[in-house]
Amino acid sequence: MTLRDLLADARALIECESPSTDLAAVARSAEVVARVGAARLGVAPERIVLDGRTHLRWRLGAEPSRVLLLGHHDTVWPLGTLADHPCTVEDGILRGPGCFDMKAGLVMAFHAAAGLDGVTLLVTGDEEIGSPSSRALIEREARAVTAALVFEASADGGALKTERKGASQYEVRVAGRAAHAGLEPDRGVNATLELAHQVLAVSGFADRTAGTTVTPTLARAGTTTNTVPAEGAFAVDVRARTVAEQERVDQAIRVLGATVPGARVETVAGPSRPPLEAAASAPLYALLCRLATYRGLPEPGRAAVGGASDGNLTAGVGTPTLDGLGAVGGGAHAADEHVLVEEMPARTALVRTLVERLLAGSPDPLATPTATRP
């Protein structure tokens, strides 16, 4: 593995744009990812198309899989972004749409897994929109292994993501009754007024001490400026560090009651991901730190982050999960997205050592090691 190879593979992936919402673009990207991955892994992937979205799965070796390596090839960038933000490497910085989140990480996964036996490598095509088609596939693969390693980009300074908040989305819908706002407003049931009560009630479900955020976001109500609104709705974004907190908010938001006489309130649940709790990552993080020390490297940092990933799904089914193993850099989803290229070889080699340790065949690969071996 050389830095030159890593960068060449990353360029191939970055220069095939893959916005999640464009099924044809995702399919084209899957072909490039399949070609690059097959060249490094020595075997072609299985193409899995679900709801029109293309995912790739490699089964490496003859042994049953014990480790899942997980990533995605879709991005948030629309077609044509390369024209203004081309893929470049200058002064040790790799740039280009999706380089940090997470095409450089995919390349690192390919190089980390090359030649190993007992690994499944799954690359999905819809993570950036909440994994609607791949969720069941990810959870099924995670249940079959002893550990899941997620090659999403690192946190600041290369820190691993050892804790991710769970994410839940809701829409609160309000029904009232229309009336002329000037002639007979009292004959109406004002959906905007009910909406205001509900926004304040929902905001109160947050718990700063527990790290739980409950944020009303997009809102709408009414039809014209001189009509008492007959209906309205607002979206709610919930982030929670623990399953218990996620469930507490879910129960509270589902039993909202109307405040304005005659109004009706309905809550519709949207996509959700369970939290990646610290306990799910602790054994893998500790093992990686021991391996780093054994190799004479500094222990990687760790971070708790608010954003969700497919690591939330693997942790949610009870599989030990370590996230943020991909590229070091910054600017995810932003114009300054970038990767520090000098970090790629050593980080890839360290993760490979972790995979090898997990495949070593001990009864409990996450057990505390002896004094002489990590």
Positions marked active-site: 74, 127
The CA distance from 80 to 218, in Å, is: 28
53-60 and 46-50 as β-strands: parallel, antiparallel, unpaired? antiparallel
Confirm if 57 and 121 have CB atoms less than 8 A apart: yes
Question: Which residues are CB-contacts of 83 (< 8 A; sequence separation ≥ 6)?
Answer: none
Residues 304 and 162 sit within 8 Å (Cβ to Cβ):
yes
3-class DSSP state of 107: helix
Give DSSP secondary structure letters for 11-23: HHHHTS--BTT-H
Strands 166-175 and 338-340, bridge-based pairing: unpaired
DSSP 367: S
Residues 6+ apart with CB under 8 A from 183: none
Residue type present at position 211: G
User: Max CA-CA distance within the chain?
Assistant: 86
Judge contact between 68 and 127, C-beta under 8 A: no
Strands (E), the chain: 46-50, 53-60, 67-72, 88-90, 93-95, 119-124, 147-150, 160-164, 166-175, 179-180, 213-221, 227-228, 231-240, 264-273, 302-305, 321-322, 329-330, 338-340
